[in-house]
């Protein structure tokens, strides 16, 4: 009966001061909405990152030019061009046991012309085993072969979006297009693949790596090499063989002097996972600060409420309310205020996360809308405990009022 | 004996200045009495009332309530006594403004353990009937006149069947007609054997009681029966 009455009374007093109650709750609403949406975005972003990387396959080895710590970022990420990795290195890796396919990579941007259609596209110079390495396939026509790489053949395989752009519904096979004024023959169109590793694969064109190096870029190094291992279990031994081979080829005796770095997708996944988790925790901590500020707002207003109701507290004590009852009344009041604020915040946070997922999906990423029960439980508990903790001091002050003095309060 | 005071003193200490408010007050009040405490302001009558109502503790002396020495009671126990043994009527009514008449009357019961909700609600309605306000049950106090509000406060004071009714200037804020109605209710209650202790500074209100205790400077200067009791229903004469 006591609790029922208190709840009824608390709702009455909150309803009576709607705008004040709402403004008080605003801090909690924003805090909880921030926690919910940030946790949702964090989970979705992590999901997306991991999906993007795992989409390349989990038994891939990446060989990057330049040394790097095992867990650190590769030098290429900082825009440093390192020329130590050569096409012949890729060829040598093909011979290793457990290595199922190898492809060198070099990329650039060029102007493609087909009759009166002109547009800029990214091109990728890759090896003949590219489609095996990346686990993809051609939709029509064929992919280029090793002898076309050796002979610097001017052939090109189009991404499906590029094909649409230049040819529409026409058959592009055996048509001739120009890349930076150099004529190429279209020999195939890739199947649709969407965004993998943050690049829309359908907007790329693929040309033999040597052709790209010699005719388009005028260089003889590679951006990176990818090798596919026959089984995940053989990853480590394959990686060691790759390192040994490259050291031998680059005349390196001491592993600390490596001019390349070798990683696998599992490592990349681990790194990404720890980065996104740390980032997520940091953002949640920032959001939690606004909950703290909201809690101080609650405390502030509860002091005002206690002061306003001093006479009422005196009356209640005169009529037999114990300290505990007064304390509970004010704690319930602040807890209800944060709970309502928390509920509104949860709804708002879910809506924000939903809006973000709709927005990101619009840009072609497979961004899942994830609201974890944990985030709802965590933020609800945080909101209630903020209400209780920050309500404690004002409630305690209320409960300590002496009845006669409180009754005389004007 | 319901109340027995023995040499009760009360000193207020404010910034190391001691102000005596009561200087050794002794008297007894029996079950069923209707006593008025009168005196000018500063005579100590409010302090006396707070001590008798367990809102304050005496500095020295002993206060027996229903035969029990109350000096050792802790806050918890005092709250329970205020809740169940004493009914307060204040000069300013002290009703909760945004709470219905019925919920105001039920206010003390939310602090009373083990009560049958239905039963107390029935009792609240009977009490409203008794003070003539059944038709106002769902009104808010601010929709009532002063006299009506004070009668709601009387019903609230009675909800837990107290042993003692304490009225602090019950007519102080009322016009004479409303004051008369309130005094009528108090006299009726006394007829039903309720014990009432009333503080007032107006002689004609005090004469509605059966006994008048006069205080001056914290001392009882007279304590006598009212020879010709004034009946409130005949009108209050100033």
What are the structural domain ranges in chain B? 3-231
Of residues A5, A12, A16, nearest to B110 (C-beta): A5
Q: Point out the residues of chain A with pLDDT beneath 70.
A: 1-2, 68-80
Average pLDDT for chain B: 92
ipTM of predicted assembly, 2 dp: 0.93
Nearest to residue A296, comparing CAs of A222, A387, A370, A176?
A387
pLDDT tens profile B139-195: 999 999 999 999 999 999 999 999 999 999 999 889 988 999 999 999 999 999 999
Q: Using beta carbons and an 8 Å cutoff, which residues of A are at the interface with B?
A: 1-2, 5-6, 9, 12-13, 16, 311-312, 315-323, 325, 403-404, 407
Which pLDDT belongs to residue A55?
74
Give CA angle at B204 (B198, B206), nearest 5°.
Answer: 20
3-class SS of residue A208: strand
> Are residues A323 and B75, on separate chains, in Cβ contact within 8 Å?
yes
The rounded distance, in Å, linking the Cα atoms of B38 and A133 is 104
Residue B231, token pair as written in the block: 């009946």
Measured between beta carbons, which residues in chain A are less than 8 angstroms from residue B90?
A: 407
Look up residue A190 and give its DSSP letter: E
Q: How far is CA A40 from the centre of its chain?
A: 11
> Are residues A320 and B117, on separate chains, in Cβ contact within 8 Å?
no
Q: Which of B79, B88, B155 to mutate to test the interface with A (most CBs of A within 10 A)?
A: B79
The rounded distance, in Å, linking the Cα atoms of A123 and A203 is 9
Nearest to residue B22, comparing CAs of B205, B163, B213, B211?
B213
Which pLDDT belongs to residue A365?
76
Residue A332, token pair as written in the block: 């319930």
Please give the full DSSP string across A129-176, using - where no structure is assigned.
THHHHTT--EEEE----HHHHHTT--EEEE-HHHHHHHHTTS--TT-E
Element housing A354 (H / E): helix A323-362
Percent of chain B past pLDDT 90, that is, above it, reads: 76
Q: Mean pLDDT, to the nearest integer, of B21-44?
A: 93
Which pLDDT belongs to residue A13?
79
Residue A298, token pair as written in the block: 């609650």
Strand partners, A61: A227, A264
Give CA angle at B80 (B75, B86), nearest 5°.
Answer: 115
The C-alpha of B168 sits at a distance from chain A's nearest C-alpha, in angstroms, of 12
Buried b / exposed e over B66-78, threshold 16 CB at 10 Å, is eeeebeebeeeeb
Which pLDDT belongs to residue A18?
83
Q: Scanning every residue of chain A, which has its alpha carbon at the shortest distance from the alpha carbon of B54? A: A318
The rounded distance, in Å, linking the Cα atoms of A127 and A225 is 10
The C-alpha of B209 sits at a distance from chain A's nearest C-alpha, in angstroms, of 24
The rounded distance, in Å, linking the Cα atoms of A109 and A133 is 22
The rounded distance, in Å, linking the Cα atoms of B173 and A302 is 32
Please give the full DSSP string across A360-392, using - where no structure is assigned.
HHHTT--------HHHHHHHHHHHHHHHHHHHH
Which pLDDT belongs to residue A156?
94
Strand partners, B215: B220
- Angle, in degrees to the nearest 10, between helices B146-158 and B117-130: 140
Which pLDDT belongs to residue A201?
87
pLDDT tens profile B198-218: 999 888 899 999 999 999 999
Confidence class of residue B74 from pLDDT cuts 50, 70 and 90?
A: very high
Which pLDDT belongs to residue B230?
85
The residue ranking higher by pLDDT, B236 or A319, is A319
> Are residues A319 and B88, on separate chains, in Cβ contact within 8 Å?
yes
The rounded distance, in Å, linking the Cα atoms of A200 and A186 is 20
Between A and B, how many CB-CB pairs are < 8 A?
61
Which pLDDT belongs to residue B211?
95
3-class SS of residue B114: coil
* Residue tagged 């909101």 (tokens): A383
Residues 6+ apart with CB under 8 A from A148: A128, A155, A208
Measured between beta carbons, which residues in chain A are less than 8 angstroms from residue B56?
A: 404
Please tell me the CATH code under which domain B3-231 is placed: 3.40.50.300
Give CA angle at B115 (B109, B116), nearest 5°.
Answer: 115
Q: Mean pLDDT, to the nearest integer, of B79-93?
A: 94
Strand partners, A120: A111
């Amino acid at each position: 009966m006591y609790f029922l009455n208190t709840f009824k009374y608390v709702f009455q007093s909150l309803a009576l001061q709607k705008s004040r109650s709402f403004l008080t709750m605003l801090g909690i609403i924003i805090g909880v909405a921030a926690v919910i949406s940030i946790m949702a975005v964090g989970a979705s972003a992590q999901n997306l990152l991991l999906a993007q990387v795992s989409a390349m396959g989990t038994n891939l080895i990446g060989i990057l030019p330049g040394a790097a710590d095992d867990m650190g970022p590769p030098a290429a990420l900082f825009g440093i061009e390192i020329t130590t990795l050569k096409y012949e290195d890729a060829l040598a890796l093909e011979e290793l046991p457990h290595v199922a396919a190898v492809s060198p990579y070099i990329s650039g941007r060029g102007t493609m012309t087909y009759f009166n259609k002109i547009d800029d596209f990214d091109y990728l110079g890759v090896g003949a085993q590219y489609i095996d390495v990346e686990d993809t396939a051609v939709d029509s026509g064929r992919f280029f072969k090793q002898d076309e790489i050796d002979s610097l053949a001017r052939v090109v395989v189009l991404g499906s979006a590029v094909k649409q752009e230049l040819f529409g519904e026409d058959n592009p096979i055996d048509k001739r297009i120009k890349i930076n004024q150099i004529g190429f023959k279209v020999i195939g169109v890739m199947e649709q693949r969407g965004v993998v590793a943050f690049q829309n694969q359908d907007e790329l064109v693929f040309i033999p790596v040597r052709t790209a190096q010699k005719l388009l870029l005028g260089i003889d190094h590679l951006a990176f090499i990818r090798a596919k291992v026959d089984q995940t279990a053989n990853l480590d031994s394959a990686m060691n063989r790759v390192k040994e081979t490259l050291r031998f080829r680059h005349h390196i005796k001491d592993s600390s002097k490596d001019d390349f770095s070798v990683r696998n997708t599992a490592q990349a996944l681990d790194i990404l996972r720890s980065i996104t988790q740390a980032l997520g925790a940091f953002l949640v901590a920032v959001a939690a600060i606004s909950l703290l500020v909201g809690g101080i707002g609650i405390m502030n207003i509860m002091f005002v409420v206690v002061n306003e109701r001093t006479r009422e507290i005196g009356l209640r004590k005169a009529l037999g309310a114990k300290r505990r009852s007064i304390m509970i009344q004010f704690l319930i009041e602040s807890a209800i205020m944060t709970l309502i604020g928390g509920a509104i915040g949860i709804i708002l946070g879910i809506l924000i996360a939903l809006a973000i997922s709709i927005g990101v999906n619009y840009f072609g990423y497979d961004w899942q809308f994830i609201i974890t029960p944990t985030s709802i439980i965590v933020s609800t508990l945080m909101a209630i405990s903020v209400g209780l903790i920050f309500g404690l001091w004002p409630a305690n002050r209320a409960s300590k009022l002496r009845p006669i003095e409180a009754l005389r309060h004007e | 004996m319901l109340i027995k005071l023995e040499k009760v003193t009360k000193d207020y200490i404010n910034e190391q200045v001691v102000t005596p408010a009561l200087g050794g007050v002794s008297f007894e009040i029996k079950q069923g009495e209707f006593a008025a405490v009168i005196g000018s302001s500063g005579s100590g009558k409010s302090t006396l009332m707070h001590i008798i109502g367990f809102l304050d503790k005496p500095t020295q002396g002993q206060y027996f309530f229903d035969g029990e020495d109350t000096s050792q009671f802790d806050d918890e126990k005092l709250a329970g006594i205020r809740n169940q043994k004493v009914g307060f009527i204040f000069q300013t009514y002290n009703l909760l403004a945004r709470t219905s008449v019925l919920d105001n009357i039920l206010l003390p019961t939310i602090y009373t353990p083990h009560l049958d909700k239905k039963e107390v609600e029935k009792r609240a309605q009977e009490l409203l009937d008794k003070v003539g306000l059944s038709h106002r049950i769902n009104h808010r106090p601010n929709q009532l006149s002063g006299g009506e509000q004070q009668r709601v406060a009387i019903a609230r004071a009675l909800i837990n069947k107290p042993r003692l009714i304490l009225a602090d200037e019950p007519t102080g804020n009322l016009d004479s007609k409303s004051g008369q109605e309130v005094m009528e209710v108090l006299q009726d209650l006394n007829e039903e054997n309720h014990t009432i202790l009333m503080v007032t500074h107006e002689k004609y209100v005090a004469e509605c009681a059966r006994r008048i205790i006069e205080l001056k400077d914290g001392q009882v200067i007279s304590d006598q029966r009212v020879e010709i009791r004034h009946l409130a229903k005949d009108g209050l004469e100033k």
